[in-house]
């Protein structure tokens, strides 16, 4: 069974299967630090079987109409709603996230995003047919790219699975999706849901396949000759490796990587609103979000008051187990991530000051206190590198030019925000900030209709929106003689 709490399985060509060589890995509950199930550790035979299934299913799925694909996605969305509690419980167990947060903040957007791409399937846009050379008519076809190899991260395993498979299927592609080895359970559950919908509507189950496994499994997927496109959400290191490997066979690559979002607070901002917005966006999901509000830049005239208020708000933010209704966030996802976050604090320079937090909570699980660090310089490690934990840094700036220089002075370019009452300043900043998203007087909301993706070492390609949908298509020029 897909939902067997003691053993997860791959989903290949409509069947749940163990790894061909029997290898498996333990899946650890981050709230306890103890293993609670096992998942396959897929090898070459498993990857080949999944890719073969996706290749075999592609012609039939490619030839479906947009309306038929829409119907599939709408049924999947309905199934997500019907099984919302099961999805919530599975996701929370795997990630340690509070149940009440997952139920309210992740399941409804995931359903909405599937429904958006169901509609997008029927709204392809392009240049109209016309005569651009005498006696010849040209038109443009948009076609699916083929088999898509997709790798999802551990911070939002359910939602990132949706961001990947929904546009791919809507465009007519077939999918082999790998969840993180630390959070495979919700993706395995999704596989059963999608497979049942496909079969119920008479489509090949091989349209959607899920492989559990480790980094080597992902590498095998990228190396396999079947995929025409590779989509990965993960670290910059992973992006480098995927891009290099995919380049050998010239596969199309879609990368959503790390972030180090600047949050620029000017002296005229509503400081109470900014403190609460940054607290919420900085500590949501334990700061394990590449768009998290983790790097705050505050005008020097309000720096001390703002920093004190933010530290107080952070100290009042609770972390706890999934069933803790008062918890705003849960544990870090795994032992390695706990060690990474702790390492940043342990290595702080002497001029830095931890205003609150900066330590693990409890002896079991991977809980970390909400942390605010001040007294930092632009070239400090914790300012330049992604922490991916409940840690917010604060730096003062003197004027708008310095704010822009500090904000852009990192290798990432995913998301940013500006807090000001001055409309002209907000517009200048939105132009100057070198990030794929600029929020004004808010931070972290996304909309299915709007693109999500970054610049520089944050990767390339867009998720969500019509732009994300188009990333899963290819363009063909067709020209015909009018004399025929």
Residues marked as catalytic:
256, 290
Q: How far is CA 369 from the centre of its chain?
A: 24
Q: Which of 297, 453, 472 is nearest to 376 (CA)?
A: 297
Q: CA–CA separation, 341 vs 324, rounded Å?
A: 23
Helix (H) or strand (E) holding 272: helix 271-283
Give SS3 for 370.
Answer: coil
SS (H, E, C) 430-472: HHHCCCCEEEECCCCCCCCCCCECCEECCEECCECHHHHHHCC
Q: How far is CA 24 from the centre of its chain?
A: 25
Q: CA–CA separation, 374 vs 88, rounded Å?
A: 36
DSSP-H helix ranges across 63-201: 66-82, 84-95, 99-105, 107-120, 157-170, 185-200
Q: CA–CA separation, 165 vs 76, rounded Å?
A: 11
Q: Environment class of residue 15 by beta-carbon count within 10 Å: exposed (0-12), middle (13-18) or buried (19+)?
A: middle
Instruction: Show the tokens assigned to 160.
Output: 């990132």
Sorted by sequence, the CB contacts under 8 Å of residue 196 that are 6+ apart come out as 79
Q: CA–CA separation, 308 vs 273, rounded Å?
A: 14
Query: Does residue 96 contact residue 322 with C-beta atoms inside 8 Å?
Result: yes
Q: Which of 349, 2, 17, 68 is nearest to 202 (CA)?
A: 68
Q: CA–CA separation, 387 vs 255, rounded Å?
A: 19
Q: CA–CA separation, 118 vs 109, rounded Å?
A: 14
Q: CA–CA separation, 79 vs 86, rounded Å?
A: 11
Work out the number of other CB atoms within 10 angstroms of the CB of residue 353.
15
Q: What are phi and psi of 458, to 5 degrees?
A: -85, 0
Q: What are phi and psi of 364, to 5 degrees?
A: -120, 150
Instruction: Show the tokens assigned to 102.
Output: 């997952």
Q: What are phi and psi of 78, to 5 degrees?
A: -60, -40
């Amino acid at each position: 069974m897909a939902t067997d709490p003691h053993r997860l399985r791959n989903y290949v060509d409509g069947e749940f299967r163990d790894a061909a060589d029997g290898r498996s890995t333990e899946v650890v509950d981050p709230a306890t630090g103890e293993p609670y199930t096992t998942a396959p550790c897929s090898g070459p035979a498993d990857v080949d079987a999944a890719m073969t299934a996706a290749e075999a299913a592609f012609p039939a799925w490619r030839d479906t109409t947009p309306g038929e694909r829409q119907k599939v996605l709408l049924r999947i969305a309905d199934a997500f709603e019907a099984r919302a509690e099961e999805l919530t419980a599975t996701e929370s167990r795997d990630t340690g996230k509070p149940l009440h947060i997952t139920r309210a903040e992740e399941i409804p957007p995931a359903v909405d995003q599937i429904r958006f791409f169901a509609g997008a399937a029927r709204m392809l846009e392009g240049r109209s047919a016309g005569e651009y050379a005498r006696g010849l008519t040209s038109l443009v076809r948009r076609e699916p790219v083929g088999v898509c190899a997709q790798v999802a991260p551990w911070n939002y395993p359910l939602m990132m699975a949706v961001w990947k498979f929904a546009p791919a299927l809507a465009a007519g592609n077939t999918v082999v999706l790998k969840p993180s080895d630390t959070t495979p359970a919700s993706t395995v559950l999704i596989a059963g849901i999608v497979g049942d919908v496909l079969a119920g509507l008479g489509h090949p189950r091989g349209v959607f396949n899920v492989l559990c496994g480790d980094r080597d499994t992902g590498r095998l997927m990228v190396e396999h000759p079947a995929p025409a496109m590779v989509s990965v959400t993960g670290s910059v290191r992973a992006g480098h490796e995927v891009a290099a490997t995919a380049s050998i066979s010239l596969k199309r690559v879609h990368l959503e990587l790390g972030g180090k979002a600047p949050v620029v607070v000017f002296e005229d901002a509503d400081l109470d609103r900014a403190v609460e917005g940054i607290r919420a966006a900085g500590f949501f999901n334990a700061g394990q979000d590449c768009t998290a509000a983790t790097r705050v830049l505050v005008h020097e005239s309000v720096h001390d008051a703002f920093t004190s208020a933010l530290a107080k708000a952070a100290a009042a933010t609770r972390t706890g187990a999934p069933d803790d209704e008062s918890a705003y966030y849960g544990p870090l996802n795994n032992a390695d991530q706990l060690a990474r976050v702790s390492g940043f604090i342990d290595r702080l320079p002497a001029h830095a000051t931890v205003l609150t937090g900066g330590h693990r909570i409890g002896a079991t699980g991977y809980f970390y206190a909400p942390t605010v660090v001040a007294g930092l310089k632009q070239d400090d490690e914790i300012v330049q590198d992604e922490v991916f934990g409940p840690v917010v840094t604060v730096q003062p700036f003197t004027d708008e030019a310095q704010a822009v220089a500090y904000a852009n002075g990192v290798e990432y370019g995913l998301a940013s925000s500006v807090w000001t009452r001055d409309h002209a300043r907000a517009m200048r900043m939105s132009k100057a900030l070198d990030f794929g998203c600029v929020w004004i007087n808010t931070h972290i909301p996304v909309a299915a209709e709007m693109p999500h993706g970054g610049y520089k070492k944050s990767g390339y390609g867009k998720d969500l929106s019509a732009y994300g949908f188009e990333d899963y298509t290819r363009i063909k020029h067709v020209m015909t003689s009018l004399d025929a």
